[in-house]
């Protein structure tokens, strides 16, 4: 299977947003390399948030479709929601006693 090339965003604002996110991701990883990583789940989740955002900006469902960008935004919000759910409930996940503590929705 051939790799799909990244689509350059048509809007200048999206190009700048992709650049800012890529630079922030690089700075985050350099900081982690210099001072050590946080907990593995937090580190991987943060990396996933950066990556998901860049993927949905640079690889849209349809390269030249305005309405399709809304679907990209919905998928991006869903990915962010899943990762943020893990971040916000991390202490519960970490301290939960299996078979004793109830599962949450």
pTM assigned to the model: 0.80
Q: Quick one: CA dihedral 52, 62, 3, 10, positive or negative?
A: negative
How do residues 48-92 score in pLDDT, each as one tens digit?
999 999 999 888 887 776 777 888 899 999 999 999 999 998 888
- Rg of the chain over Cα atoms, rounded to whole angstroms, equals 17
Break the chain into its structural domains and give their ranges: 12-95
User: In this structure, how many other beta carbons lie within 10 angstroms of the beta carbon of residue 47?
Assistant: 16
Higher-pLDDT residue of 38, 10: 38
């Amino acid at each position: 299977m051939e790799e799909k090339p990244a689509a350059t965003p048509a809007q200048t604002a999206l190009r700048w947003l992709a650049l800012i996110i890529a630079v922030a991701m690089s700075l985050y990883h350099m900081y982690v390399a210099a001072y050590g990583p946080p907990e593995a789940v937090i580190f991987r989740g943060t990396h996933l948030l950066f990556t998901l955002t860049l993927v949905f900006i640079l690889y849209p469902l349809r390269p030249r479709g305005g309405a399709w960008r809304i679907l990209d935004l919905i998928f991006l919000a869903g990915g962010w929601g899943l990762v943020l759910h893990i971040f916000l409930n991390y202490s519960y996940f970490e301290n939960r006693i299996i078979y004793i503590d109830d599962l949450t929705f």
